[in-house]
Structure 1
Amino acid sequence: MNLETQPALMRDRFYPRSRQTVRAARDFAVETLDAWGVGRRRHDVSLCVSELATNALRHGVPPGRGYRLRMLRFEGVVRVEVHDSGPGLSRLRVGAGRGLVVVAGVADRWGAVPRSPGKAVWCEFDV
């Protein structure tokens, strides 16, 4: 998907470094899907938002910082991005947590891209 050439709907929200924000992020994702009229894959999107937000809090959000949840809607695709300011790129690792394994198994596509500072971990769902 070429994000630069396709028109999209976009919503995002910033969350402070707190475990309680995972539920708020999940609720925001469901609210966004409802606003866009997307019922298909709702559970999958919600699950992946939980996993990516938790991953950001555990590994990517330094004290005093937060993370951003961004959702985009393209023709037939919903994209979820979680932006944090921590170092390194997220990747599947043996012996690590299961969050990215869940995302890789549930989403149609996923990846991570560097930002300054930090990274954005994303996943996409064909809807």
Structure 2
Amino acid sequence: MTHPQITGEAKPPHTPAPQLVLRFSGTRRGARLARQLATQQFTEWTGLPHDSDPARTVALVTSELAANAVRHGSLPGRDFRLALLLLPNALRIEVTDTRPERHPEPASTAPQSLDAPSGRGLLLVEAYAECWGWECRDAYTKTVWGEVALPSLPEAQAATNAAKNLL
């Protein structure tokens, strides 16, 4: 048996991006818990306070994606999945539901009635996320995702210092 020759400098082992994946009940309570957990995890990963603009953006995007999964993508008795992935410059929020046949329309092209009580969730996601989209990874589910930009290091430090000064 021959062994490959190792040349050059040793590479550090590949460290996967931090991620968290959880299932929630397809209910309003499940959507609320998903929002709270996403915000909590984001603040733990970044060190930013809960009331920082990026944390609020994570809460809003998660809330809208989870609410859409509950309202439009849920089948009775089926859960939805929340996945958070910390990328180098963004937090990717993925919500997977059980209705692959129901594709979200781009918010900017969907008809909007000014007096409608709902229908603006993806418009908010489009406005606050750096990018968003959807994909069907299998025949049984659909994933809608959005990416929230992470602040640069000086911005993050300033937000953390401001929060400490309030205490």
TM-score (norm 2): 0.68
Does the 8 A contact of 1:6 with 1:74 survive in 2?
Answer: no
Does the 8 A contact of 1:18 with 1:57 survive in 2?
Answer: yes
Q: Map residues 34-73 of structure 1 onto 2, 5 A cutoff.
A: 34-39=43-48, 41-73=54-86
Matched, 1:13 2:13: no
Q: Count matched residues.
A: 123
Question: What is the aligned counterpart of 1:91 among 93, 98, 105?
Answer: 105
Question: Relative contact order: is structure 1 or structure 2 higher (C-alpha 8 Å, sep ≥ 6)?
Answer: 1
Matched, 1:25 2:34: yes
Equivalence for 1:123: 146
Runs of 4+ in 1 over 3 A off after TM superposition: none
Deviation per residue, 1:46-86 (Å, 9 max, x gap): 00111000001111011110100100001121100000111
Does the 8 A contact of 1:89 with 1:114 survive in 2?
Answer: no
Q: Greater CA radius of gyration, 1 or 2?
A: 2
Separation in structure 1 between the aligned mates of residue 70 and residue 24 of structure 2, nearest angstrom: 10
Separation in structure 1 between the aligned mates of residue 92 and residue 120 of structure 2, nearest angstrom: 21
Does the 8 A contact of 1:61 with 1:85 survive in 2?
Answer: yes
Question: What is the aligned counterpart of 2:125 among 95, 103, 109?
Answer: 103
The letter of the residue matching 1:66 is D
Shift of 1:22: 1.7
Shift of 1:38: 4.7
Shift of 1:118: 2.1
- Structure 1 stretches lacking a partner, 5+ long: none
- Structure 2 stretches lacking a partner, 5+ long: 1-13, 113-117, 151-167
Percentage of pairs with the same residue: 34
Residues 38/82 of structure 1: CA separation in 2 closer, same or farther (3 Å cut): farther
If each structure's strand is expressed as a fraction of its own residues, which one has the higher value? 1
The letter of the residue matching 1:8 is A
Alpha-carbon RMSD across the aligned residues, in angstroms, is: 1.8
